[in-house]
Structure 1
């Protein structure tokens, strides 16, 4: 009986080691909370300070005048939100990996980045094309859809919980692609609220 228990324990340990070697578990829940907070602040600034809330697909002012000041400031906010989110994720993931005595830039981390890279790169290029054609109403939907695809892919190399998060982002993107006036609200929910809720869940489930 004791030998059987030893075998079961050994099998469990081997399975745990294999799972840890094939998946990246150093993503920090705190990073999700911070990223969501940045996004909510960015959406607030874009709406209340710069009046950015497209209610139709095409922005006539952008087509006739080029990138006007308020749109330029909104785009700058979006870039800052992205930079802060990526920076926080990298820093906190590195800290978590250090505490777990794991390499932050491991083969699994590289696989995670590669799985996210294609949809994010394709989405970024498409967003620039759409912006160049004055179709600002599609900026929020497309960013949500391609980000959702990247997050869903990341679920294969990290936490399984990333997959439903990705599906929710895609669903929000499809919704606001049809209901353009709700684009900024959906963007705030997807990149803000859902990230915060996901970060809290990850923190309580895996980090406490």
Structure 2
């Protein structure tokens, strides 16, 4: 009986070591929470600045109501707002992930993290090029659901190299992006839900599941 328990414990330890060597487990739930909060702030700034009904002016049936100068000004503002949100989200995400890795005596830059970054990069770069194409063809209203869909694909792809919860977040983002294709009058709202609320919910679950010290 004792030998069986000892063998089971040994197998559990081997499985844990194999998982740590094949998956990047230093991803912090606080990264998701911070990214979600930053996204909500960015969406709020956009809503206050543009003062539209959730960017309904970007809907395909309303494109003709904007002059070329107004459209260009709107696009520049949205790109600047989105870029600032992206930079801040990445910075806080890296900070919390590095801090978690150091707390557990692990290195951040290794073979598993490189595989994770590659899995994220391919769909994100493809999505970025797709969005540039939408701008080129003056289809601004498609950018919002497209970013959600490609972000979800990136998370779904990356979930194989980290916690399985990332895959669930990815599937939720894809589903919301597909719904957003048919709710073009609420582009900013669906974007705020996807990048804001869903990231906060995911990050909170990750934190309490893997990081919160047991009381």
What whole-Å deviation, never above 9, does each CA across 1:53-108 have from its counterpart, x for those lacking one? 14413744778338533431221110000011111111111111111111101111
| CA contact 1:62–1:68 (8 Å) conserved in 2 | no
Alignment correspondent of 2:137: 133
Give the secondary structure class of the aligned counterpart of 1:104: coil
Give me the whole-angstrom Cα distance separating, in 1, the residues matched to 2:71 and 2:101: 42
Matched, 1:202 2:202: no
Alignment correspondent of 1:28: 28
Name whichever of 70-79 and 160-169 sits farther off. 70-79
- Pair 134,63 (structure 1): closer, same or farther in 2 beyond 3 Å: farther
| CA contact 1:59–1:134 (8 Å) conserved in 2 | no
Unaligned runs of 5+ in 2: none
Within a 5 Å distance, the mapping from 1:1-208 to structure 2 comes to: 1-51=1-51, 53-54=55-56, 55-57=58-60, 59-60=63-64, 64-65=68-69, 68-208=72-212
> TM-score, structure 2 length as denominator?
0.91
The Cα of 1:16 is off from its aligned counterpart by 0.4
> TM-score, structure 1 length as denominator?
0.94
What whole-Å deviation, never above 9, does each CA across 1:152-200 have from its counterpart, x for those lacking one? 1111000101111111100111111112112111100000000011111
Aligned residues: 208
Give me the whole-angstrom Cα distance separating, in 2, the residues matched to 1:116 and 1:63: 37
| CA contact 1:33–1:199 (8 Å) conserved in 2 | yes
Give me the whole-angstrom Cα distance separating, in 2, the residues matched to 1:156 and 1:34: 23
Name whichever of 64-73 and 119-128 sits farther off. 64-73
Give the secondary structure class of the aligned counterpart of 1:156: helix
Q: What root-mean-square deviation, in Å, do the aligned CA atoms of Structure 1 and Structure 2 show?
A: 1.7
Give me the whole-angstrom Cα distance separating, in 1, the residues matched to 2:76 and 2:153: 27
Give me the whole-angstrom Cα distance separating, in 2, the residues matched to 1:51 and 1:69: 14
Give me the whole-angstrom Cα distance separating, in 2, the residues matched to 1:61 and 1:89: 39
| CA contact 1:141–1:173 (8 Å) conserved in 2 | yes
